Structure 1
């Protein structure tokens, strides 16, 4: 029964966490989402972000309430390990590692979506939005890795660097996350 409960909790937490992280990132880089994305994001996350804003207001142009809400979601989802006898300190470390992993996987997903758009339909309605979300990651890489024969390899380099970050994370904080 515990694996089924864990699957359900992880699925719901991952979707909600991804939406909260997307909300934070959109505001951090000041990108205006298409109305369908905005409606989905805000509808799914307002119930958690708005009350947190009373405690943690935005500062420095960042929506800290969304970021903290995403961490609270991952912490709550990871607390299921307490049932398996894992200590609270270990659960917190697993949650922190899992949170970083969610951020990295979110960037990888955005990069893959951008690559698919560039191959299949570069004029898709969501393509400019995804491009803007990826721009802060790709801009520094494009300065170092210029297009080769008209082919932009910056997305590939970014995914490789993010995979290395995941590998290092597993070394620094080993665990079941």
Structure 2
């Protein structure tokens, strides 16, 4: 349980680092300092092997997968074959991505209700914009209420269910 919590924290920081760079969002200094200090020990050596290509920080994404793989490798001790451990790691990695997007959407919803002018609110809005923009084109405002967050959460939960079905079939 402690290994999973530590892996989730580090993996989340690595995925956040990748997403911030992928959509070119400049984080507030406190978020940047936390994310970079937590993940530099892994990202910097990986960048020597896997350089950033196309404006993407592939070292952060691969680092997140390696963290998932290490956390999942505990299943080897339980007698799981290596290929099953790799498949379980892929599933957990995709789940972490989906949970990360869900968490960002929930944080944005909380900011919009509690304090839309909070210092982190524009940063979280910018992180969610690539997810919400296509939905906002399709889902109109209902009485000046933006339901795109709710639709995105439902779509992410459907993706999570499909992911579980796809990996349980193997």
Same fold by TM (over 0.5)? yes
CA distance in 1, matches of 2:64, 2:161: 22
Q: Unpaired runs of 5+ in structure 2?
A: none
How many residues end up aligned between the 2 structures?
A: 169
CA distance in 2, matches of 1:171, 1:58: 33
CA distance in 1, matches of 2:141, 2:15: 30
Is 1:164 aligned to residue 161 of structure 2?
no
CA distance in 2, matches of 1:54, 1:100: 25
Taking only aligned residues, the RMSD between alpha carbons, in angstroms, comes to: 0.8
TM normalised by structure 2 equals 0.99
CA deviations 1:36-92 (Å, max 9, x no partner) are 000000000000000000000000000000000000000000000001111100000
- Displaced runs of 4+ in structure 1, greater than 2 A? none
Of 18, 22, 29, which aligns to 1:28? Answer: 22
Is 1:10 aligned to residue 4 of structure 2?
yes
Task: Please report how far the alpha carbon of residue 140 of structure 1 lies from its aligned counterpart in structure 2 after TM superposition.
Answer: 0.1
CA distance in 2, matches of 1:103, 1:156: 18
CA deviations 1:131-173 (Å, max 9, x no partner) are 0000000000000001100000000000000000000011010
The match for 1:48 is 42
Helix, strand or coil: the match of 2:73? helix
Of 58, 70, 73, which aligns to 2:67? Answer: 73
CA distance in 1, matches of 2:53, 2:61: 12
CA distance in 1, matches of 2:168, 2:110: 33
Task: Please report how far the alpha carbon of residue 30 of structure 1 lies from its aligned counterpart in structure 2 after TM superposition.
Answer: 0.1
1:1-177 alignment runs, 5 A limit: 7-174=1-168
Helix, strand or coil: the match of 2:168? coil
CA distance in 2, matches of 1:109, 1:148: 24
Helix, strand or coil: the match of 2:107? helix
Task: Please report how far the alpha carbon of residue 8 of structure 1 lies from its aligned counterpart in structure 2 after TM superposition.
Answer: 1.1
CA distance in 1, matches of 2:101, 2:141: 21
CA distance in 2, matches of 1:52, 1:127: 31
